[in-house]
Structure 1
Amino acid sequence: MNSAPVRHVLILGGTTEARRLAEELADDPALRVTSSLAGRVAQPRLPAGQVRIGGFGGPEGMARWLREQHVDALIDATHPFAGTISLNAARAAADVHVPLLALRRPGWVPGPGDRWHWAGSLDEAARLLPALGRRIFLTTGRMGLAAFAQLTEQWFLVRSVDAPEPPFPPRMEVLLDRGPFTLEREAELLRRHRIDTLVTKDSGAGATAAKLTAAREAGLPVVVVRRPAAPDGVSVAPDPAAALAWLRATLS
């Protein structure tokens, strides 16, 4: 009879990779899997297993939760641009000595014909736009629109899952939608709205990569915001399979 204790795994989720990992682990009787969602999306896609929604109250609150819930391993599978929660996870895991892995899908790589302009931040992306175009397809999410609010000459098509809140650009149309998106649909969107510049974050998601191909085929410039690096000292896995291998080795 196997008397080994059930091990508790906390997944900081909200991404496709996080849901896939939770699904892989949910049926393992040796594991208790909890996925934590930030609660910024009104109707999130819920993963398998237990789910908690909402913040922890900074690194101290997360460390307290890890300790009280007897977490044995922590996997940060948040969006590549969720920098604050990743830093909090690194601090909390170090404080309570819980093994931590960052699950980060690989970033996008430009190919032949791409006209990419890299930016270190949304503010830098906004500074590039006056020299690039006037009808902008903005796909950086609803949280950072303040960076573009001072641009009065450009018109923006803003795509996000939920409606944005001000401040945002004065000349703007909002498209509420959620990927995956097809190449045909993205190309038609660029044509219909007469887009001349695309702005995106280097999320690396295959579900939203079609816009890059559509922009390349249309000969459009693309401003790509670089993703922040993982916190110092944190191991990184590129996909759920690698994260699963790490977890098995860590808990064995």
Structure 2
Amino acid sequence: MARPLPAVSANRCVLVLGGTSEARALASALVSRGVRVVSSLAGRVAAPRLPEGEVRVGGFGGPAGLARWLTEHGAAAVVDATHPFAERISDSAAVASRDSGVPLLRLERPGWSQGPGDDWHWARSLPEAADLLPGLGERVFLTSGRQGLSAFAGLSRLWFLARCVDPPEPPLPPRLEILLSRGPYEVAGERELMLRHHIDVLVTKDSGGAMTEAKLVAARELGLPVVVVRRPVRPAGHTVTSVDEALIVTLEWLNR
């Protein structure tokens, strides 16, 4: 039997950090239950998908600024639903929660799991991923985001197809084609893209989720090696892996 959701106290604010699909789903679920939600977006994407409720864009001025915001706005809870690789804001949220006394919940989707037929090569960072590439292939499909392309700028002998939401800034690899695109993606389309560009190695971060998982399936079907960058270590704290879990915990905190 499903666990019943608690009633909601009116006029209590929840700050949701992040522009992920999980952040948008949680904001929608809370708003539908009468909760005042403020979603904070970093502002790194030119045309982000906006969640329901109130939206603010830009930083807080570090942990002290975030703690001040939580106190001044009477926040009852803060949910860190940022991207698994958004380290700075997660660190700030942990410090701000401690200093303000506002409880912090981390909502993080599970990472991807290697399965039969996968040829994965794990790296601890993008520079380490770049070091692995010369021994794995010559035509690289980069899906690690526009902000990390500088790590591959020195690989002049390799050709890169980099898929990003917004155009990247230099330094960039000299042999580079940019594909501006936003998921979700399907396996057939990913397979066709890799074949058309003669891709022989894929690079990705362990972001998890279904929106971009199709590239891993396509790489497996084509027998391509995949370089996977591990997630950074997160501050210790209360963590859940689904929107439903986050909703239950947040509503309980609202009614304390």
Common fold, TM-score beyond 0.5?
yes
Once the two structures are TM-superposed, the CA of residue 3 in structure 1 deviates from its matched residue by 11
Measured at CA, do residues 197 and 3 of structure 1 come closer, stay the same or move farther in structure 2, by a change above 3 Å? closer
Q: Deviations over 1:120-163 (max 9, x none)?
A: 00011000001101100000000011111111111000000000
Q: Deviations over 1:21-77 (max 9, x none)?
A: 001011223x21100000000000000000001111111111111111111100000
What residue is the counterpart of 1:68 in the other structure?
72
Q: Partner of 2:122: helix, strand, or coil?
A: strand
8 Å Cα contact 2:76/2:253 also seen in 1: no
Q: Partner of 1:48: helix, strand, or coil?
A: coil
8 Å Cα contact 1:102/1:230 also seen in 2: no
What residue is the counterpart of 1:246 in the other structure?
249
1:11 and 2:16 are equivalent in the alignment: yes
What is the letter of the counterpart of residue 211 of structure 1? K
Q: Distance in 2 between matches of 1:72 and 1:94?
A: 13
What TM-score comes out, normalization by structure 2 length? 0.95
What TM-score comes out, normalization by structure 1 length? 0.96
Q: Partner of 2:211: helix, strand, or coil?
A: helix
Q: Partner of 1:147: helix, strand, or coil?
A: helix
Q: Distance in 1 between matches of 2:9 and 2:197?
A: 59
Q: Partner of 2:40: helix, strand, or coil?
A: strand
Measured at CA, do residues 3 and 54 of structure 1 come closer, stay the same or move farther in structure 2, by a change above 3 Å? closer
What residue is the counterpart of 1:26 in the other structure?
31
What residue is the counterpart of 2:155 in the other structure?
151
Q: Distance in 1 between matches of 2:184 and 2:8?
A: 43
Measured at CA, do residues 10 and 217 of structure 1 come closer, stay the same or move farther in structure 2, by a change above 3 Å? same
Q: Distance in 2 between matches of 1:3 and 1:165?
A: 45
Q: Which runs of 5+ in 2 are unaligned?
A: 1-6
Measured at CA, do residues 3 and 227 of structure 1 come closer, stay the same or move farther in structure 2, by a change above 3 Å? closer
Q: Deviations over 1:56-109 (max 9, x none)?
A: 111111111111111110000000000111000000111001100110000000
1:203 and 2:207 are equivalent in the alignment: yes
The size of the alignment, in residue pairs, is 249
Measured at CA, do residues 98 and 134 of structure 1 come closer, stay the same or move farther in structure 2, by a change above 3 Å? same
Q: Deviations over 1:215-238 (max 9, x none)?
A: 000000000000112212x11110
What residue is the counterpart of 1:121 in the other structure?
125
Moved over 3 A (4+): 2-5
Q: Distance in 2 between matches of 1:248 and 1:54?
A: 26
Q: Distance in 2 between matches of 1:146 and 1:6?
A: 45
% identical equivalent positions: 60
8 Å Cα contact 1:13/1:78 also seen in 2: yes
Q: Which runs of 5+ in 1 are unaligned?
A: none
Q: Distance in 1 between matches of 2:32 and 2:8?
A: 18
1:235 and 2:241 are equivalent in the alignment: no
What residue is the counterpart of 1:111 in the other structure?
115
Q: Distance in 2 between matches of 1:39 and 1:169?
A: 25
Once the two structures are TM-superposed, the CA of residue 249 in structure 1 deviates from its matched residue by 2.1
Measured at CA, do residues 121 and 3 of structure 1 come closer, stay the same or move farther in structure 2, by a change above 3 Å? closer
